[in-house]
Chains A and B, each alone.
Chain A
Amino acid sequence: MNTKRMLLGLLITVPFIALLAWGLDRDPRFIPSPLPGREAPDFSLPIMETSGDFSVREPGPGEVVDLSELRGQVVVVNFWASWCLTCRSEHVPLSRLAEQYAHEDVQFFRILYNDRAENAASLIDRMGGQSYPTLLDSRSGTAIRYGLTGVPETFFISRSGTVAHKQVGPVSHDLIVQWVDRLLEEEWSPAEADSDEASPVASEGQ
């Protein structure tokens, strides 16, 4: 009888304890993203002009970046805002790595979220410029299509246009290198491209 009671007690308590143990190392506010492994939502966003240094790509004012035209290239998309203190810590590694990978098939973009362009431009200027473009996301349509839950968030997109990884919170130099190198090594056939255009910058406005 005692063995039966013990077994009954274990049958009830073990699943509860397992549930608690499973939950202990999880952030209850973490939102799992369905995007990794799926095609990245397309965007066509204007480039924000700043007084910063665009020596790597030199995009002109009023031009737009169309993700669908970037097939064959690894794309790193970082959502940020000038009021986000954590986002500032990403400025140096992202800028340096954008320069480091300038001659490879890698594109870096920052998308401004819930912020004024003039505030972002001012901050970029004070931080010594930025070696890659910031894009303007009017009404946060792109941010919502990417399931943004906060800033900073960074998406690593493969040559075939698939979201390979979503990083919630700040990205480090090592993490960027790890994902970019891994995605550059992936085989990709030009036949997979949706468009023949490889240039990230279109001449038309949005």
Chain B
Amino acid sequence: MIRPWVIPALVVVLALASPLSGDAATETTMGPQAQESAVPPGQTVIPDPDQFEAAAPTDDAELEAQVRKLARQLRCPTCQALSIADSPSELAREMEGVIRLRLQEGMTPEEVRESFVDAYGEWVLLSPDPAGFNLLVYILPFAVLFMGGGIVVVGMRRWLAAGEDEPVEGVPEEEMQEEEVLVEQAPPAR
């Protein structure tokens, strides 16, 4: 007979192998993959030397420390598993530049953080605030660990108890019963 704790164990194994942890492709792309040729002679474009140049790091150590601290808290939309401080993607560099600009404009670190949450949702926070539904993220692992541990302990106890009651191979049941009677009648050991 299948032990009751075997089923949850199988489900956990299946959960770890599920597509939730996969790396499916999306329809959007973030980096130059096929750069086009330069503009033909005579083409007029608005000169924009600052175009796609992220705000460069400054000599202000305090500002740069704040930028790094915030960048470590925000998730890169391209890499997803990395913070924008760790991500090498173009978007992460631009987001870091936006953090710097917003701090330079006088926003507090909390306001900058909230401005990213406004645009990307709480998804952008690598560590969501432990409040409301988010509490599940913090509580659930411990709850599952506790439940799993309990199931394993109960299962082991029953398994051991069942093993003690089972007849020894090759010994007739009558002899086993006589031996049990003798053990019960024996004087206590000193």
Contacts and interface: CB of A to CB of B under 8 A. Distances in A.
Contact of B46 (A23, A46, A151): A46
Contacts of A151: 28-30
Given A84-B29, A117-B48, A139-B55, A13 B8 contact: yes
B71 interface: no
Interface in B1-42: 4, 7-8, 11-12, 14-15, 18-40
A125 interface: yes
- B contact residues, range: 35 or more
A101 interface: no
A186 interface: no
Interface in A154-191: 168-170
A71 B90 CA distance: 33
A135 B39 CA distance: 17
Interface string B46-57: 101011111100
A121 interface: yes
A150 B11 CA distance: 35
Contacts of B106: none
B24 A169 contact: no
B39 A29 contact: no
A82 interface: yes
Contact of A114 (B18, B43, B91): B91
Interface string A139-159: 111011111111111000000
Contact of B8 (A9, A141, A148): A9
Interface stretch (A32-40, A91-99, A103-111): A32-40
Give the interface size class of chain A: 35 or more
Interface stretch (B92-100, B126-134, B169-177, B180-188): B92-100
A154 to B, nearest CB: 11
Given A28-B21, A136-B48, A150-B28, A122 B121 contact: no
Contacts of A123: 36
Contacts of B53: 139
Contacts of B115: 145
Contacts of B104: none
Nearest to B51: A138
B120 A34 contact: yes
Nearest to B47: A117
Q: Which 6 A-B pairs have the closest CB atoms?
A: A150-B28, A169-B27, A118-B39, A147-B119, A83-B32, A149-B77
Given A136-B48, A136-B51, 14 more contacts: A16-B15, A26-B20, A34-B121, A49-B44, A117-B46, A118-B38, A119-B39, A138-B52, A139-B52, A139-B97, A144-B95, A151-B29, A151-B30, A169-B27
Interface of B: 4, 7-8, 11-12, 14-15, 18-40, 43-46, 48, 50-55, 77-78, 80, 90-91, 94-95, 97-98, 101, 115-121, 123, 147, 151
